[in-house]
Amino acid sequence: MRIDIITALPTLLESPFSDSILQRAIKKGIVEVHLHNLRDYGIGKHKQIDDYQFGGGAGMVMMIAPIEQCITELKAARKYDEVIYMTPDGDRFDQRAANALSLCQNIIILCGHYKGVDQRVRDLFITKEISIGDYVLSGGELAAAVVSDAVIRLLPGVLNNETSALTDSFQDNLLAPPVYTRPADYKGHKVPDVLTGGNFADIDAWREEQAWQRTKDRRPDLLP
């Protein structure tokens, strides 16, 4: 899979891809992540990428020309499954959306800033608009990192068996059960006996019950 991220703030996106699971996925060649600095496509000697909005009002709007140039350049090199715009008024991102995107070969993610992008960018180039929740971020970069992380960890070969995505919260519409590690007794706070008993059928049954109970208590909206 290849992810091209278009942003006015590429440095904001460097560290999420430089550590841990995402870094390993890139090193293994399972995913390529390319950051494109919108400023490189800016207009004039000031490399302008935003301007005042028509009709007045506070906040700058990202101009269409630099974005078109960047997207056109990318599209000339390969076909894209989706051109995504990160915006608080997009479709709410969830595990189902992550699963769907993980089947794509190439995607572009455009990060909005200021008051957002000229509507014509959305009308002409964007195939999907994504929000990561009902709150406002300063820009789409952190949201793009969230979406990329959720998608990349699903790609075959990124996680090993022990960290398999199949046992994640949400993957079966249930929250994950509690987990414990050593010591079995911490200052009198003991690990549930079933987990140290060695009966794996019992352990599976306990985990299933706990997952169900936790979901019922915390997120009953997830249950059918």
CB-CB contact of 43 with 66 (8 Å)? yes
Helices (H), the chain: 20-27, 64-77, 95-101, 119-125, 141-152, 193-196, 200-218
**Is 131 a binder of ligand 6GU (CB under 6 A)?**
yes
Number of chain residues interacting with ligand 6GU (CB under 6 A): 13
Which residue, among 173, 144, 187, has the nearest Cα to 14 in the 3D structure?
144
DSSP 20: H
- Choose, by CB under 6 A, the member of 53, 139, 167, 212 that binds ligand 6GU: 139
Does the protein bind ligand 6GU through residue 165 (CB under 6 A)?
no
- Nearest residue to 86 via CA among 179, 196, 1, 9: 9
Binding flag, residue 136, ligand 6GU (CB under 6 A):
yes
Please state, in angstroms and rounded to a whole number, the distance separating the CA atoms of residues 136 and 88: 6
Cβ contact 117:90 at 8 Å: no
The verdict on 132 binding ligand 6GU (CB under 6 A) reads yes
CA atoms within 13 A on the CB side of 208: 6
Cα-Cα-Cα-Cα dihedral of 139, 16, 135, 117, to 10°? 20
Q: Does 86 bind ligand 6GU (CB under 6 A)?
A: yes
Query: Which residue, 85 or 206, is less far from ligand 6GU as judged by CB?
Result: 85
Nearest distance from C-beta of residue 24 to ligand 6GU, angstroms: 25
**Closer residue to ligand 6GU (CB): 71 or 147:** 147
Q: In the complex, what is the shortest distance from the CB of residue 88 to ligand 6GU, in angstroms, rounded to a whole number? A: 4
- Residue 88 near ligand 6GU by CB under 6 A: yes
User: Hey, which residues between 142 and 161 contact ligand 6GU (CB under 6 A)?
Assistant: 143
Residue 21 DSSP symbol: H
Query: Is 140 a binder of ligand 6GU (CB under 6 A)?
Result: yes
Measured from the CB atom, the residue of 131 and 148 that comes closer to ligand 6GU is 131
Report the interface residues with ligand 6GU, using CB under 6 A: 86-88, 130-133, 135-137, 139-140, 143
